[in-house]
């Protein structure tokens, strides 16, 4: 699934707009993602995942050679090193309606193409509640989907399968990929400080 990197447009808006203009133009929540450069010699992953029919499996056609049934998830090159900004939102084609999937596989809502990130690393779900002033106030929760590398929030590991409440400015580490969770206001302040 294609996702749009908003970093350059959002940075430009933050430089030239007032706080109110920025929040109106960039509502919602965002994940600032820093893809590391260089070789990741700590991650020597030499496995493949293949999807084949049961008939082919019975016929002994399950060798390492690629077939048309192969899930080419790991064939794409990793994302180039750099800083990216992704909106934390559900992709319209994703079948997991209750949460936002994060991982290396292309069928996630937020795709982090780095070898240290699991195919399905984490999920984010929001809990919406109405507050007295009539505004919709959402809380966001991050859950480690029993990933290989685990997840830290503000340098502390979170327990697999146990939701961890996120707050704007939280620093999240998914494998070797650093992320920061922002709402509109904290994102504006962050970009203006750069």
47, pLDDT greater than 80:
no
Domain ranges in the chain are 7-41+78-193
The string of pLDDT tens digits covering residues 22-34 is 999 999 999 999 9
Q: What is the pTM of this model?
A: 0.77
Give, in degrees to the nearest 5, the angle at Cα 114 between 160 and 142. Answer: 30
Radius of gyration of the chain (CA): 19
6, pLDDT greater than 60:
yes
Q: How far is 140 from 172, CA to CA, in rounded Å?
A: 13
Spell out the residues 6+ positions from residue 138 whose beta carbon is closer than 8 angstroms to its own. 126, 127, 128, 129
What confidence tier does 3 reach under pLDDT thresholds 50, 70, 90? confident
168, pLDDT greater than 90:
yes
Query: Residue 103: what pLDDT?
Result: 94
The string of pLDDT tens digits covering residues 108-149 is 999 999 999 999 999 999 887 766 665 657 899 999 999 998
Does the domain at residues 7-41+78-193 carry the CATH identifier 2.60.200.20? Answer: yes
38, pLDDT greater than 50:
yes
């Amino acid at each position: 699934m294609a996702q749009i990197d908003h970093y350059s447009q959002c940075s430009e808006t933050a430089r030239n707009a007032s706080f109110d203009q920025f929040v109106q133009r960039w509502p919602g929540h965002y994940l600032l993602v820093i893809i590391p450069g260089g070789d990741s010699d700590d991650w020597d992953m030499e496995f493949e995942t293949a999807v084949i029919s049961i008939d082919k499996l019975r016929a002994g056609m399950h060798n390492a050679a690629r077939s048309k049934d192969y899930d080419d998830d790991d064939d794409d090159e990793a994302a180039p090193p750099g800083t990216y900004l992704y909106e934390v939102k559900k992709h319209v084609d994703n079948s997991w309606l209750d949460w936002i999937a994060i991982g290396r596989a292309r069928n996630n809502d937020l795709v982090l193409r780095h070898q240290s990130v699991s195919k399905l690393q984490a999920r984010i779900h929001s809990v919406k509640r109405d507050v007295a002033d009539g505004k919709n106030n959402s809380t966001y929760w991050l859950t480690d989907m029993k990933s290989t590398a685990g997840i830290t929030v503000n340098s502390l590991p979170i327990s697999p399968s146990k939701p961890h409440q996120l707050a704007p400015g939280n620093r999240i580490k998914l494998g070797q990929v650093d992320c920061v969770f922002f709402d509109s206001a904290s994102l504006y302040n962050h970009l203006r400080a750069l």
